[in-house]
């Protein structure tokens, strides 16, 4: 089924089946009817920055509804896989611009690998100004400890912004902030595409997100979807406890 995205120009028609998850999207930004996606399963989403951002998640299959077993073992009727949005470079570029526009000027954008790599790079690109283009660097875990490797370096007094794809507990972002501070860097803000904490995570610096969610979960023994006999699936993968 042909599908094309037009992330720049905003909403386009998209026909989704809320029970069976993402279906082929029929997009025609010029002639199509401006049908709205079914909202039936979206009750937990408290704040998308715009309808068009939410629509991109639906169109790319990054926002799934169904019956999912999360990494925590809890069940949910929603699942959000940010990588599926960022697989589209035009979408990643747009999200980078939208985040970058809300962030203060900096010398360096830093992200925890792997989740923050694409969006952090796009944010740094979007924040580039003549004569003042921030670098993009990333940190990795070395024996479990967030570390600057690969010859990346920062200088005392530099200003940094920390970018992650999804903030759940804020753990990875917090570790990157701590490494930067120990190097004398001033961390001026943090950002993510998704905030799954419902806005509750406090990183000690101003923080922005394109979408803020509260994920409704159920213990398996108390799951209404299980009681309905709906098969449970394990989407995506998140083998580490980071995030
Ligand atoms: Zn269940």
Model confidence pLDDT, tens digit, residues 167-191: 988 999 999 999 999 999 999 999 9
CA of 65 to the centre of ligand 1 (A): 13
Burial code (b: 16+ CB inside 10 Å, e: under 16) for 114-132 equals ebbbbbbbbbbbbbeeeee
Q: How many other C-beta atoms can be found within 10 angstroms of the C-beta atom of residue 149?
A: 12
CA of 220 to the centre of ligand 1 (A): 5
Rounded CA gap, 4 and 230, in Å? 31
pLDDT computed for residue 73 by the predictor:
87
- Residue length, the chain? 243
Domain chopping of the chain, boundaries: 96-213
Tell whether pTM > 0.85. no
Q: Are strands 45-48 and 207-213 parallel, antiparallel or unpaired?
A: antiparallel
CATH number for the region 96-213 comes to 3.40.50.2020
CA of 119 to the centre of ligand 1 (A): 32
Question: Between 204 and 213, where is the model more confident?
Answer: 204
CA of 221 to the centre of ligand 1 (A): 8
Which protein residues have a CB closer than 5 Å to ligand 1 (ion)? 75, 223, 225-226, 232
pLDDT computed for residue 32 by the predictor:
30
What would the pLDDT profile of 117-128 be if each residue is shown by its tens digit? 999 999 999 999
CA of 67 to the centre of ligand 1 (A): 6
CA of 77 to the centre of ligand 1 (A): 8
Residue entry with tokens 């004398």: 184
Contact 1, 24 (CB under 8 A): yes
């Amino acid at each position: 089924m042909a599908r094309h995205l037009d992330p720049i120009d905003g909403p386009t028609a998209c026909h989704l089946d809320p029970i069976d998850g993402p279906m082929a999207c029929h997009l025609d930004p010029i002639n199509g009817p401006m049908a709205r996606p079914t909202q039936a399963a979206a009750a937990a989403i408290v704040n998308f920055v715009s309808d068009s951002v939410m629509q991109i998640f639906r169109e790319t299959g990054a926002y799934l509804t169904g019956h999912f077993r999360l990494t925590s073992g809890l069940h949910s009727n929603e699942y959000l896989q940010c990588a599926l949005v960022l697989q589209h470079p035009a979408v990643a570029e747009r999200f980078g611009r939208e985040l970058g526009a809300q962030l203060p000027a900096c010398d360096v954008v830093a992200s925890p690998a792997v989740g923050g790599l694409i969006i952090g790079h796009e944010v740094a690109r979007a924040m580039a100004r003549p004569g003042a283009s921030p670098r993009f660097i990333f940190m990795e875990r070395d024996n479990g400890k967030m570390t600057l490797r690969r010859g990346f370096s920062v200088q005392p007094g530099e200003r940094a912004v920390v970018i992650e794809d999804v903030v759940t507990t804020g753990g990875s972002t917090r570790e990157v902030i701590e490494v930067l501070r120990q190097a004398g860097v001033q961390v001026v803000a943090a950002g993510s595409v998704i905030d799954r904490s419902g806005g509750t995570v406090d990183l000690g610096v101003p923080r922005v997100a394109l979408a803020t969610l509260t994920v409704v979960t159920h213990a398996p023994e108390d799951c209404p979807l299980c009681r309905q006999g709906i098969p449970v699936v394990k989407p995506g993968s998140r083998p580490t406890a980071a995030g």
